[in-house]
Structure 1
Amino acid sequence: MNSEEDSHVVEYIRLFLPSSPHSSVVFYGFYLFPFKMCTRKTLPAEMISRNNFSVWSILKKCIGMELSKIAMPVVFNEPLSFLQRISEYMEHTHLIHKACSLSDSLDRMQVVAAFAVSAVASQWERTGKPFNPLLGETYELIREDDGYRLISEQVSHHPPVSAFHAESLKQEFEFHGSIYPKLKFWGKSVEAEPKGTMTLELLKHKEAYTWTNPMCCVHNIILGKLWIEQYGTVEIVNHSTGDKCVLNFKPCGMFGKELHRVEGHIQDKSKKKRRVIYGKWTECMYSVDPKVYDSYKKSDKKTTGETKKLKQVSDEHSCEGEEADEMPEVQETVTVIPGSALLWRITPRPPHSAEMYNFTSYAMTLNELEPGMDRLLAPTDCRLRPDIRAMENGDIDAASVEKERLEEKQRASRRERSKDEEDWSNRWFQQGTNPHTGAEDWLYTGGYFDRNYTDCPNIY
């Protein structure tokens, strides 16, 4: 060994070889790199300004079209791959651990519902587009402090499909799915439909929950301030008990009254309402008894009924402006109904988040590359992508050049396979049937953390 970094690797491998009684939990994290948790508080450079760039010249011919095949300038990206964005579902893993610890299935469903909402919370004000993953690109994330490890892979290019698998280091849960993000441009906004099913398995309780994520819309792509709303119905099904949680992510509506709001209920297999869930996906979620909720709403209607009409007449804000979809002023924070239980509250963002692509503290760490990691990661890991690294360092010109080079290399590889009549073979996931829904899904085949990367493609 010729460096201090190499000696650290050897020492940590020696200390945590499988002979250790804790090896099944600790070994992978220490084997990955000289142990230092990825906890940076900021990015190497501030966000690149987009003021001198116009997306209209690219999108004006794409109204109503699916955007996955449209090449966008790198300046409209954020320095993360879509695979890294997927890993942000795990920011609030403590909710899964809590669900694992609860003995009552209704209580578990409440917390799983909160986790499903928290999984999209990081999208608030994240108006940068993540880099499209290259076919065969991977991302691994090991968080010993949160007790899980994750692997994701880009398993298809057209259509773009990203598969992921996360598992507890103590064999308490598995969380997996595949996402096919369909993007459409509608003149003033871009609508994203995250097609694909999320599956959470609580192994101790022998329960499996499935759901799909809500729609997402980014307003004012051409003119005005960018802003995001989530909307649509999310149904979370417990396939073991028959319980279901129906959540309505409300569109902002006229006058912006419903912006960010989420409301729904949990029903048992006989369709009896057991709990009401309410809050904001940008802030917090609560649960309350349905009778208490109905009583409160009736009282609230009497109180507000007389002023409602006057308020609507005087309110000038609407989601459909003539020149831009003006973002409604954010309404008051969630009004807590007496008797409610707090399920989840969002983690505050760092004070400099606006200068850092509106990243959360969690997102700040996702592309961190500690000394020595590059020799131990799979060569397809997106931490090693030169275009994302250049953008993170504030070099937009190098990022653009590298992005174009990688995309051309990908096209050349596809032409070569076509000429040789050779099919692409994914390394860590394969198509199969989701055992809980019966639908087609991408399933993890295992073996990634054995650290045998000899068959990985050269994509960078």
Structure 2
Amino acid sequence: MGYAIKQVKGESLKRKGGVVLTAPLPLDGNESDSDYRTPSIIQRILGLLATVKPGSDLTRLRLPPQFNIPKSQLQVYGESVYCVSTDVLSKCTKEETPLGRLVCVVAWFLSMYRPLPFGVAPYNPLLGETHHVSVGSLNVLVEQVSHHPPVSALHASDDKHNIEMIWCQSPIPKFCGSCIETEVVGKRHLKLLDKHETYIMNSPKLVIRFFPFSSVEWIGNVTIRCQETDLEAQLCYRGNSFWPRPSLHRSIKGKIVRSSTSHMIYEIYGHWDRSVMVKDAATGQQTTIYNAKEVLSELKTPIVMDPAAICRSESSLVWSEVSRAILEKKWDKARECKSEIEERQREIARERQLKEEQWLPKYFRVFHSQESGWDCVPKNNIVAPAPIVVND
């Protein structure tokens, strides 16, 4: 499965300078570009892609730090759940009707997708790397459970609102000549425990375009289904085609239907980075269900509440020296630190192979089959409060 984080007994966190926590990705994906982006990013990207053949699997491509944002992909996954300025998730449990709860689940789903900056990407997580953060009563834990292929598992629990989330997903990026398409394989489960409802959903594709214009877009079909209530939402994330069209850019359309009959109850439309509406198919009444500025404005950066409790596998600690060098634009230092981490992981993988040892995730039991793909079961019923928090 790849590399793992090596445990070093007695090694002080202070010697590594402590964790580095950066601001969450903003609603405007380009707002924070100046914090860490290098000059001539387009020329650098074209030079890098000149070495890649169309159709290639990019999961093994090693990006130089000039192409990295100062955080791991695990942190990006976690932020999509815990970094919001308005608590959309808990509202799902407060609705009295199954239809009202599904509408709230759709709004929560929309809040997880943010515009991403062009030309840079998060670090590829190491095998065994973790990210653990709490906001209010919601505790979120993410673990990298496979390296090749890259697979991440997420478990989140909220005892106050009787909510649980379980994800197991794998991004598969491929170079298609004029763009990179990343299919996010795997399903996400959201459980409203006191309502005895489980919502199963997939993810749109992430498409990075280079020609004729540069852009990063979420594109594709999503289904959010609750088997217990016979209700489902069908969403289509749309993006620009060959030429930019403002009406299509970051737009979304879809419907809420009865699964057994396909009878449409609501029409869904709007733009996921602005506002999304539903229209009652019977009465024509329109209601705004999601306002991106209300939910994703003024996002707060996580802080460390208990430094002594930080796990050695914590993303913001593992990559701290690389992140600090990127933020300071010390590219030689960033390259050196990143190379050391990668070489150390290759060494650990070789040692494990010689000893014929099998690596097992710490927090999840992971399963894979050709028919159903990747799936996971958390080893613990709930996620414990984290030493890193977002003040709500």
Range into which the TM-score falls when normalised by the shorter chain = 0.7 to 0.9
For 1:314, the equivalent position in structure 2 comes to: none
Does the aligned pair in 1 maintain the 2:186–2:374 contact within 8 Å? no
What is the identity, as a one-letter code, of the residue corresponding to 1:242?
D
For 1:234, the equivalent position in structure 2 comes to: 222
The normalised TM-score by structure 1 is 0.69
For 1:77, the equivalent position in structure 2 comes to: 68
Report SS of the residue matched to 1:264. Answer: strand
For the pair 1:86 / 2:77, whether they are aligned, the reply is: yes
For the pair 1:280 / 2:271, whether they are aligned, the reply is: yes
Q: CA deviation at 1:409?
A: 0.6
For 1:445, the equivalent position in structure 2 comes to: 379
- Residue number among 10, 35, 43 corresponding to 1:46 in the alignment: 35
CA spacing shift, 1:134–1:174, aligned 2, 3 Å: same
For the pair 1:167 / 2:161, whether they are aligned, the reply is: no
CA spacing shift, 1:439–1:134, aligned 2, 3 Å: closer
For 1:105, the equivalent position in structure 2 comes to: 98
For 1:299, the equivalent position in structure 2 comes to: none
For 2:327, the equivalent position in structure 1 comes to: 392
> Matches of 2:315 and 2:298 in 1, distance apart?
19
Q: Note the alpha carbon deviations across 1:115-171, whole angstroms, 9 max, x for none.
A: 112211x23446520111111110011112xx3010001100000101111111415
Q: CA deviation at 1:103?
A: 0.8
Report SS of the residue matched to 2:58. Answer: coil
Gaps of 5+ in 1: 1-36, 294-338, 351-359, 452-460
Report SS of the residue matched to 1:163. Answer: strand
> Matches of 2:186 and 2:39 in 1, distance apart?
31
CA spacing shift, 1:433–1:450, aligned 2, 3 Å: farther
> Matches of 1:342 and 1:129 in 2, distance apart?
32
Does the aligned pair in 2 maintain the 1:176–1:199 contact within 8 Å? yes
CA spacing shift, 1:148–1:433, aligned 2, 3 Å: farther
Larger strand percent: 2
CA spacing shift, 1:254–1:158, aligned 2, 3 Å: closer
For 1:312, the equivalent position in structure 2 comes to: none
Does the aligned pair in 2 maintain the 1:431–1:442 contact within 8 Å? yes
Q: CA deviation at 1:188?
A: 2.2
Q: Note the alpha carbon deviations across 1:154-192, whole angstroms, 9 max, x for none.
A: 100000101111111415101120120011112221111
Q: Equivalent residues in 2 for 1:400-411 (5 A)?
A: 400-411=335-346
Higher relative contact order (CA 8 A, sep 6+): 2
> Matches of 2:355 and 2:368 in 1, distance apart?
30
For 2:289, the equivalent position in structure 1 comes to: 343
CA spacing shift, 1:282–1:124, aligned 2, 3 Å: farther
- Residue number among 211, 235, 244 corresponding to 1:247 in the alignment: 235
Does the aligned pair in 2 maintain the 1:127–1:227 contact within 8 Å? no
Q: Equivalent residues in 2 for 1:182-261 (5 A)?
A: 182-220=172-210, 226-253=214-241, 255=243, 256=245, 257-261=247-251
Report SS of the residue matched to 2:365. Answer: strand
Report SS of the residue matched to 1:87. Answer: helix
> Matches of 1:113 and 1:450 in 2, distance apart?
27
Q: Which has the larger radius of gyration?
A: 1
> Matches of 1:282 and 1:204 in 2, distance apart?
31
Larger helix percent: 1
What is the identity, as a one-letter code, of the residue corresponding to 1:278?
Y
Q: CA deviation at 1:46?
A: 2.2
For the pair 1:136 / 2:109, whether they are aligned, the reply is: no
Report SS of the residue matched to 2:88. Answer: helix
Q: CA deviation at 1:66?
A: 1.1
Does the aligned pair in 1 maintain the 2:139–2:383 contact within 8 Å? no
Q: Equivalent residues in 2 for 1:371-390 (5 A)?
A: 373-384=306-317, 385=319, 386-390=321-325
Q: Note the alpha carbon deviations across 1:251-298, whole angstroms, 9 max, x for none.
A: 3236524221111111113221111111111111111112455xxxxx
Does the aligned pair in 1 maintain the 2:156–2:383 contact within 8 Å? no
Q: Equivalent residues in 2 for 1:282-301 (5 A)?
A: 282-291=273-282
What is the identity, as a one-letter code, of the residue corresponding to 2:207?
C
CA spacing shift, 1:70–1:150, aligned 2, 3 Å: same
Q: Note the alpha carbon deviations across 1:339-396, whole angstroms, 9 max, x for none.
A: 311111113799xxxxxxxxx743x614x5x4x7432111110111221233234333
> Matches of 1:135 and 1:229 in 2, distance apart?
28
Aligned-residue RMSD, C-alpha: 3.1
Q: CA deviation at 1:238?
A: 0.4
For 1:365, the equivalent position in structure 2 comes to: 301
Report SS of the residue matched to 1:394. Answer: coil
Does the aligned pair in 1 maintain the 2:140–2:383 contact within 8 Å? no
> Matches of 1:117 and 1:227 in 2, distance apart?
19
Report SS of the residue matched to 1:155. Answer: strand
Q: CA deviation at 1:438?
A: 7.3
For 1:15, the equivalent position in structure 2 comes to: none
Does the aligned pair in 2 maintain the 1:114–1:344 contact within 8 Å? yes
> Matches of 2:205 and 2:281 in 1, distance apart?
27
What is the identity, as a one-letter code, of the residue corresponding to 2:37?
I
- Between 1:169-178 and 1:260-269, the stretch displaced more is 169-178
For 2:363, the equivalent position in structure 1 comes to: 428
Gaps of 5+ in 2: 1-20, 387-392
- Between 1:276-285 and 1:404-413, the stretch displaced more is 276-285
Q: CA deviation at 1:243?
A: 0.9
What is the identity, as a one-letter code, of the residue corresponding to 1:414?
A
- Identity among equivalent positions (%) equals 25
Does the aligned pair in 2 maintain the 1:193–1:216 contact within 8 Å? yes
